[in-house]
Amino acid sequence: MISTVLPTYNRAPLSFVKGEGSWLYEADGRRFLDLGAGIAVNTLGHANPELAQVLKDQADRLWHVSNLYKIPAQEQLADKLTELTFADTCFFTNSGTEAAELAIKMARKYWYEKSQPEKIEIITFAGCFHGRSSAAIAASGSEKMVKGFGPVLEGFVHLPFGEWDSVAEHVTDKTAAILIEPVQGEGGIRVVPDEALRLLRQIADEKGCLLIFDEVQCGVARTGKLFAHEYAGVTPDIMMIAKGIGGGFPLGAVLATEDAASGMTAGTHGSTYGGNPLGCAIGLKVLSIVSDPAFLAELNRKAGLFRQKLEQLVAAHPDIFEEVRGEGLMLGLKCKIGPADLVAKGYAQGVLTVPAADNVVRLLPALNISDEEIAEAVSRIDAAASAL
């Protein structure tokens, strides 16, 4: 008999009743060091007191109002996001997938309004992940995601990951945009080199298409800069964010330049919940904390420590690990074994990690994880590796 919860996940036999900082607690009292953070969501740990206070204060005042009205918390968050980034304008969503939907619509509408309606193609890269909607699975193009869900939305051109020098050849009169994650998450913590991001910007400018960055997983301080593309020193025309910005509350956004957003006039897009007062109040608090240079400096110090310990771990288990990958606190252990085996052994050691493609185990802790917790995390992964 089918479970009452649609069985689209292979769930681990764990269920948590409480979270505190980097720790999750089972009903029986067992505690787990959480290096998944809800897949890069719980930016400031579980039940962060500062965020909880913002949530409670806002909940006592106003939860939801329609986007038919002005929403001050939404305006403040948009002001702050545009102040801190390339963007001139933001649209708020509840998830990364919804942000992907709008980014794709925005790129196509841009060219339609510029009297170039033939420009509808979006270039994406193997291993990418932009969500599970019909447009997002078409963007990924992987058989695993699209099989059985046809007809697949047209207009996506899938290129190999890493062959940056040949991208320009595939940009045609029909290309509306190039869409890329500066660091692939689900694809296995694959960092796009800075030179490659700069090359994509140059191609977009020279050939006349938009550049879209999906920073749903790698954004919001995860990599040690507020946004991962800052390392490359180039900016996109459109950017999707979600996950980390809400610190655990469902919140996402599309950020865009005034020009890129010019086709999105009143009535062209909408959302009942996107940009609601609760989400935006929390997002504003998260952003104000993680954008503080002192917070980012501390994050980078800790990321250096974590990475150093992981390099030692890899050296100690050459039969299990190949390398450490990633940037900041978006780290991956490339394995020589199936990553799911290591993740499962981790459960027995009280440590939660997340598998990804390309034989990678992801480590995406809360950005305020302590030095002691980092040491504890590595020793628990070490024990899990030894048990394999």
Instruction: Report the interface residues with ligand PLP, using CB under 6 A.
Output: 39, 95-97, 100, 129-131, 181, 185-186, 214, 216-217, 242
Nearer to ligand PLP, 250 or 350 (CB): 250
The minimum distance between CB 216 and ligand PLP, in angstroms, equals 3
The minimum distance between CB 240 and ligand PLP, in angstroms, equals 6
Nearer to ligand PLP, 100 or 381 (CB): 100
H or E segment at 96?
helix 96-113
Residue 214 marked in a binding site: yes
Residue 96 marked in a binding site: yes
- The alpha carbon of residue 77 and the mean position of all alpha carbons in its chain are separated, in whole angstroms, by 18
- Strands 351-352 and 31-34, by their bridges, are parallel
The minimum distance between CB 358 and ligand PLP, in angstroms, equals 14
Omega before 151 within 30 of 0, i.e. cis? yes
Sequence-distant (≥ 6) Cβ neighbours of residue 33 within 8 angstroms: 22, 23, 350, 351, 352, 373, 376, 377, 380
The minimum distance between CB 36 and ligand PLP, in angstroms, equals 12
Total residue length of the chain: 388
Residue 175 marked in a binding site: no
The minimum distance between CB 272 and ligand PLP, in angstroms, equals 16
Residue 116 marked in a binding site: no
Residue 216 marked in a binding site: yes
Please report how the helices 277-290 and 72-84 are oriented relative to each other, as an axis angle in degrees rounded to 10: 30
Give 347's Cβ-side CA count (13 Å radius). Answer: 14
Nearest to 91 by CA among 110, 108, 71: 71
Residue 376 marked in a binding site: no
H or E segment at 256?
strand 252-256
Q: What is the largest CA-CA distance in the chain?
A: 63
Q: Is residue 285 classed as helix, strand or coil in its secondary structure?
A: helix
CA distance 218 to 263: 27
**Of all residues in this chain, which one has the CB nearest to ligand PLP in the complex?**
96
Q: What CA–CA distances, in Å, run from 213 to 171, 267, 278?
A: 17, 25, 26
Residue 20 marked in a binding site: no
Placement of tokens 């204060």 in the chain: 57
Nearer to ligand PLP, 34 or 181 (CB): 181
Nearer to ligand PLP, 131 or 236 (CB): 131
Residue 220 marked in a binding site: no
Nearer to ligand PLP, 85 or 93 (CB): 93
Determine the number of helices (DSSP H) and then strands (DSSP E) in the chain: 11, 17
CA distance 195 to 172: 22
Nearer to ligand PLP, 45 or 250 (CB): 250
Nearer to ligand PLP, 121 or 181 (CB): 181
Nearer to ligand PLP, 185 or 355 (CB): 185
The minimum distance between CB 23 and ligand PLP, in angstroms, equals 23
The minimum distance between CB 43 and ligand PLP, in angstroms, equals 14
Residue 271 marked in a binding site: yes
Nearest to 180 by CA among 163, 169, 172: 163
- What residues are paired with 31 via a beta bridge? 25
Please report how the helices 293-316 and 371-386 are oriented relative to each other, as an axis angle in degrees rounded to 10: 20
The minimum distance between CB 362 and ligand PLP, in angstroms, equals 10
* Binding-site sequence positions for N(2)-acetyl-L-ornithine: 132, 271
* Binding-site sequence positions: 96-97, 129, 132, 214-217, 271-272
* Binding-site sequence positions for pyridoxal 5'-phosphate: 96-97, 129, 214-217, 272
